[in-house]
Amino acid sequence: MLGRTKAKDPDEMAEIAKAWNKLAEAIPRKLFPTILRRVLWHHADQEITNHLVADAAERLS
């Protein structure tokens, strides 16, 4: 689900994966693919997208 990312550190990759999973759990399943497509469309750089998702996951905590 992470797609391409610039993160090389396994710990950083694990944190990114946790953030994506937390966001996925918080959003109704029907909406998640639409929201994800929009995020990725507007932010082609995966690193930026990962940071946006991490921020969103923190706010949902």
5 lies in some domain? no
pLDDT per residue as tens digits for the range 8-31: 677 877 888 888 788 777 777 676
Please tell me the pTM assigned to this model: 0.41
In the chain, the number of structural domains is 1
- The CB density around residue 20, as the number of other CB atoms within 10 Å, is 20
2 lies in some domain? no
C-alpha span between 43 and 37 (Å, rounded): 10
Structural domain for 29, as ranges: 10-60
41 lies in some domain? yes
Tokens of 15: 């944190």
pLDDT at 50: 73
7: DSSP letter: -
49 within 8 A of 43, measured Cβ to Cβ: yes
4 lies in some domain? no
Among 45, 34, 5, residue whose Cα is nearest residue 19? 5
